[in-house]
Amino acid sequence: MSGPAGRRPAVPAGRTRAPSRRPALVAALLPAGSYAGRSRMLLLRSATASRRTWVALLSGFFEPIFYLVALGQGLGSLVGPVAGPGGAPISYAAFIAPGLLAASAMNGAVFDSTYNVFFKLRYGRLYDAMLATPLGPVDIALGEIGWALIRGGLYALGFLVVLAVDGLLVSPWAVLALPAALLVAFAFAAVGMAATSYMRSWQDFDLVTLVILPMFLFSTTFYPLSVYPRGLQLVVECLPLYHAVELMRGLTTGVVGAGLLGHLAYFLVMIAADVPLASRRLGALLLS
């Protein structure tokens, strides 16, 4: 039976109450007060705000289509068939389409998690206002990464529809390209947000272009890896977009093997490393 009102039941003799402690790993990743489980509120806010900027949101959908028409259909008529992932010849349009799909997911996630987040953090001061609510830095980080993931996923979905209409999805495995694109967008959004937390001015965003553009051009998006000398191949194989392109290319052409698991693991490691980093950096910036 419980004791009188307002008093706790007595602890039996010889026993002590175990202190309520979180595991050390959880305490390290989610410090007290940093997470309220309400990241969805940032998703709702971003969706509401995007209603007035839908033109800018839609513009990112057309960029890979322009590349596909100009290079896949235009240049592709001069190049002819090329060797696919399994060695079988495929059209040049079918070769570059998965690379453009991966780049579309990357661009949508990176630019939303860098430019938009930087404005909210440094100029709009929206995150300072959010911390006056039950939201914590981890909620903010997950909410912004989640919206960047949605944006990158929408670009990937729209581009997949275009590829299906053009007959460039030649394998039933292509249905897994969308979940794979979401994973890619999630990983790049986490990296983008973590990098944004270190930026001090708009001039620092030149570094974003300096990284994204060469990676887009060299990560086997338009050419097979074999065209590079071995030293440059090793560099390309370290780039995250290379793993995204190879993952998409394997799924859309039906060349599925154990190697795709390595590409998936690459992005899981990116997510595991950069989500905690982005959360801790936001906490240091907003709570200092």
Q: Where are the strands (E) in 22-162, listed by range? A: 82-83, 89-90
* 70 confidence band (pLDDT: 50, 70, 90): confident
Q: Would you say residue 24 has pLDDT above 70? A: no
Mean per-residue pLDDT, 66-90:
79
Tell me what pLDDT residue 30 has.
55
Instruction: Please give the mean pLDDT across all residues of the chain.
Output: 80
The torsion region of residue 80 among left (phi > 0), alpha (psi -120 to 50) and beta comes to left
Identify residue 94 by its one-letter amino acid code. Answer: A
**Sequence spans of domains, the chain:** 36-287
Q: Would you say residue 36 has pLDDT above 80? A: no
Higher pLDDT, 119 or 283: 119
pLDDT tens across 193-225, in order? 899 989 888 888 888 889 999 999 999 999 889
pLDDT tens across 114-145, in order? 888 888 888 888 888 888 888 888 888 888 88
CA pair distance 25, 29, nearest whole angstrom: 6
Q: Which of 191, 202, 168, 209 is nearest to 73 (CA)?
A: 168
Q: Encoding tokens for residue 230?
A: 């071995």
Cβ neighbours of 209 (radius 10 Å): 9
CA pair distance 222, 95, nearest whole angstrom: 8
CA pair distance 46, 119, nearest whole angstrom: 14
Mean per-residue pLDDT, 261-265:
94
Of 66-75, 163-172, 216-225, which one has max mean pLDDT? 216-225
Identify residue 85 by its one-letter amino acid code. Answer: P
* 152 confidence band (pLDDT: 50, 70, 90): confident
